[in-house]
């Protein structure tokens, strides 16, 4: 069985795509957009008197 640290080293050395920082920025940006949309749109469901 291969040691997990060896697998991690192999996986990170062969990574050709965007780095983990860019991936985290994209995820945070998408979650932020969803939260902002929810925050802005939640006022439209109020009473219609």
Whether residue 6 is contained in a domain is answered as no
Whether residue 38 is contained in a domain is answered as yes
Q: Using one digit for the tens of pLDDT, what is the confidence trace for 1-35?
A: 667 777 666 666 555 666 888 889 999 999 999 99
In angstroms, the CA 45 to CA 6 distance is 53
Whether residue 10 is contained in a domain is answered as no
How remote is the C-alpha of 45 from its chain's centroid? 28
Whether residue 44 is contained in a domain is answered as yes
Whether residue 7 is contained in a domain is answered as no
Half-sphere exposure of 35 (CA within 13 A, CB side): 6
pTM of this structure: 0.54
Whether residue 37 is contained in a domain is answered as yes
How many angstroms separate the first and last alpha carbons of the chain?
68
Tell me what the mean pLDDT of segment 23-49 comes to: 86
How many domains in the chain?
Answer: 1
* Radius of gyration in angstroms for the set of CA atoms belonging to the chain, rounded to a whole number: 20
- Angle of CA points 28, 30, 35, to nearest 5°: 90
């Amino acid at each position: 069985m291969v040691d997990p640290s060896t697998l991690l080293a192999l996986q990170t050395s062969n990574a050709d795509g965007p780095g983990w920082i860019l991936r985290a920025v994209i995820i945070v940006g998408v979650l932020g957009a969803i939260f902002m949309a929810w925050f802005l749109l939640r006022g439209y469901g109020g009473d219609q008197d």
